[in-house]
Amino acid sequence: MFRVHIYTGSLALVGKSGVGQAANHQRAALEQVGVPVVTDWQPKADVIHLNTVLPCSFRAARRARRQGIPVIWYGHSTEADFRHSFVGSDLLAPLFKRWLCLCYNQADLVLTPTPYSASILNTYGLRAPVRALSNGVDTDFFAPDAARRAAFRQAYGLAEGDKAVISVGHFMERKGILDFIALARAMPSVRFFWFGHTDPALVPRPIREAMAAAPANLEFPGFLSQSELRDAYCGADAFLFCSHEETEGIVVLEALACGTPTLVRDIPVYDGWLEDGVNVHKGRTNADLRIKLAALLRHRLPDVTAAGRQVALDRSLPRIGQALRQIYATLPAPQKRHLPRLRHRTVRT
C-alpha cells in the first residue's frame, strides 16, 4: 500500500483557488479508497504530490528525488491559462512557461486534468510523461437539494419568479468577467452574481473599472465557503461560465454535480466530455451566450441536468482515488538519486 504525501507548502496561498481545491480533492479521494495520506516524507512517504509551481514546491521536488521518493506533479497551469489573468501576466507568460518546464521536469509523472491540457503540455518537450486525470468533484457534497435552493434565494432576496445567474472565479479577463458584466447589462431583468475574490493589487485596472461600473442587477458578494457555494449552485437558475481558457474547470463540475443548468463558452478544453445540448449548453460568442442564456432561463432548451450530473459522477472522488492507486503502480521503485546540477535548457516557445 502506497503512503502518499500531499505537499502543503505554499498551498495556503492558493487555498481559495481551484489549485487549492484540487489538493483537497486528492486527499479526500485517496482516503475514500483507503490509501494512507501522511504528513511526513521519510520514512513514511512512498510518493509525493505537488500542486503549486512556487519555488518551495520546486525545492520539495528536488529534495524528494534525492531521497528516492517518486514525484507526481499536477499540471494545473499552462502558459495559455496564465495569460490574461493577473497584473503583468501577459508580459511574464513566456518566462512562466520556462519556469513551468523547469518544475515539471523534476517529476516522474505529470498529471493534468484533461486531454486538452495534456496536449498543450506535450508540446513543451518535458522529460516526464504526461497523463490526463480529472481533478474530480465531491458528488456527495455537491448534489441537488431543494432546501439549499430555498436557503440561497432567501439569503439574496430572490422572490418567486426571479431569475438568478451565477458564476464563480477570480476577477480575471481570462475567466470571462468582462463578458459576464456585459451579459448582465444586456439582461437587466435577471439577477447576476459573481462569487469569488482576488487581491485588488493583482486585478488589472480595466477589470477594476468594469466592476465599479457594473449594472445594478449584478452583485459581487465575494468569496464563499464550500457550503455557501453549494447553496448558490442549488439556488441558481443557471451557471454561466464565460471563461476563455481552462485546464478543466472545477466549478463547472461542481455546478453539474448540483444539477444546475450550465452554460459554458465553447472552448477546446471541453471537447470530448461536455457536449452541447447533451450534458451542458455552449455558446462560442457573447451573442451566442446571451441567446442561449435567455432561452435557458425560459426553459426553451433541453433539460440536460441529469446527464450533467452523470458527468460529475464519472469524476467522483472514489473513482479518482482508484485511478491514482493504479497510477502509483507505474511509478519507478523508490531509490535515492544523484541529481546533476541544473543547467539552462532551451524550451520551445
Query: Residues 156, 130: one domain?
Result: no
Question: How much is the pLDDT for 136?
Answer: 98
For the domain that residue 113 is a member of, what is the CATH number?
Answer: 3.40.50.2000
Question: How much is the pLDDT for 301?
Answer: 98
Question: How much is the pLDDT for 44?
Answer: 83
Question: How much is the pLDDT for 7?
Answer: 94
> Taking 90 as the threshold, does the pLDDT of residue 338 lie above it?
no
Query: Residues 113, 157: one domain?
Result: no
Top-confidence residue, 8 or 278: 278
> Taking 70 as the threshold, does the pLDDT of residue 17 lie above it?
yes
Query: Residues 158, 126: one domain?
Result: no
**Average pLDDT for the chain:** 93
pLDDT in tens, 156-171: 999 989 999 999 999 9
Query: Residues 239, 94: one domain?
Result: no
Question: How much is the pLDDT for 18?
Answer: 84
> Taking 70 as the threshold, does the pLDDT of residue 141 lie above it?
yes
Residue 290 included in any domain: yes
Residue 249 included in any domain: yes
CA distances from 133 to 21, 59, 102, 182 (A): 15, 25, 21, 34
Question: How much is the pLDDT for 344?
Answer: 47
pLDDT in tens, 205-251: 999 999 999 999 999 999 999 999 999 999 999 999 999 999 999 99
Q: Which residues contact 294 (CB under 8 A, 6 or more apart)?
A: 187
Query: Residues 242, 323: one domain?
Result: no
Query: Residues 165, 84: one domain?
Result: no
Q: What is the mean pLDDT of residues 269-286?
A: 98
Query: Residues 183, 90: one domain?
Result: no
Query: Residues 128, 174: one domain?
Result: no
Residue 343 included in any domain: no
Rounded-to-integer distance, Cα 13 and Cα 198, Å: 12
Q: Is 47 helix (H, G, I), strand (E, B) or coil?
A: strand
Residue 121 included in any domain: yes
Q: What is the mean pLDDT of residues 320-337?
A: 86
The domain tally of the chain equals 2
> Taking 60 as the threshold, does the pLDDT of residue 304 lie above it?
yes
Can you give the residue range of the structural domain that contains 157? 146-313
Residue 334 included in any domain: no
Rounded to the nearest 10°, the torsion over CA 106, 109, 113, 115 is 110
Residue 337 included in any domain: no
Question: How much is the pLDDT for 341?
Answer: 61
Top-confidence residue, 304 or 18: 304
Rounded-to-integer distance, Cα 83 and Cα 349, Å: 14
Q: What is the mean pLDDT of residues 277-304?
A: 98
Query: Residues 165, 81: one domain?
Result: no
Give me the residue label for grid cell 483507503: 34
Quickly state the pLDDT bin for 2 (edges 50, 70, 90): confident
Query: Residues 229, 293: one domain?
Result: yes
Residue 340 included in any domain: no
Closest CA to 281 of 318, 238, 244, 246: 238
Query: Residues 274, 206: one domain?
Result: yes
> Taking 90 as the threshold, does the pLDDT of residue 118 lie above it?
yes
Closest CA to 315 of 256, 245, 259: 256
> Taking 70 as the threshold, does the pLDDT of residue 260 lie above it?
yes
Q: Is the pTM of this model over 0.85?
A: yes
Residue type, 163: K
Q: What is the mean pLDDT of residues 11-28?
A: 86
Residue 341 included in any domain: no
pLDDT above 70 covers a percentage of the chain that reads 95
Query: Residues 256, 299: one domain?
Result: yes
- H/E element holding 241? strand 238-241
